[in-house]
Amino acid sequence: MRIHKLLVAVTVNTIGEVFTIHNPSDIDYGLAQVEYNGGTGTIKIEGRTSTDMDWVTVYTFTGDGARRVTLFPLMRASLTNESGATVYVDLIQWT
C-alpha cells in the first residue's frame, strides 16, 4: 500500500502537487480520504492520462469523507471556496 499526501494542512485556495501513480498491479482504483478541521471548502480529486490531456474531476468533496476513486497516471487535489478550513487529503493506492 502507498499513501500519497495530496494536500497537507492547506488553508487557502490551491491546486496541489501532481503525483505520478505507478501501478504495478491491475488494481485501477484507490481510496481518497478528506479531512476538514473547521470551516468549509470544495475539494476536487482530479486525474489525467498524460500531460497532453485536460484534468478531469474524479470526485468532489464538500466535507469529511472517504471514497473509492479511479486512479489515473497523474493525480492531484484542489481546494476552492475555502472559508476558515484546514484541509488534508490522502490518496491510498494498493500495490
The CATH code of the domain that includes 89 is: 2.60.120
Mean pLDDT across 32-43:
95
Q: Which residue segment(s) compose the domain that 80 sits in?
A: 2-93
Residue 13 scores a pLDDT above 80: yes
The pLDDT of residue 21 is 87
Residue 24 scores a pLDDT above 70: no
The pLDDT of residue 26 is 77
User: Tell me, what DSSP letter sits at residue 63?
Assistant: S
Residue 14 scores a pLDDT above 80: yes
- For the chain, the domain total comes to 1
Secondary structure E strands in the chain: 2-10, 14-15, 19-20, 29-37, 40-48, 56-61, 65-70, 74-83, 86-93
Mean pLDDT across 31-52:
95
Dig out the grid coordinates for 90 from the structure: 490522502
The model's pLDDT over 54-94, given as tens digits with 9 standing for 90+, comes to 999 999 999 999 999 999 999 999 999 999 999 999 999 98
Pairing of strands 19-20, 74-83: antiparallel
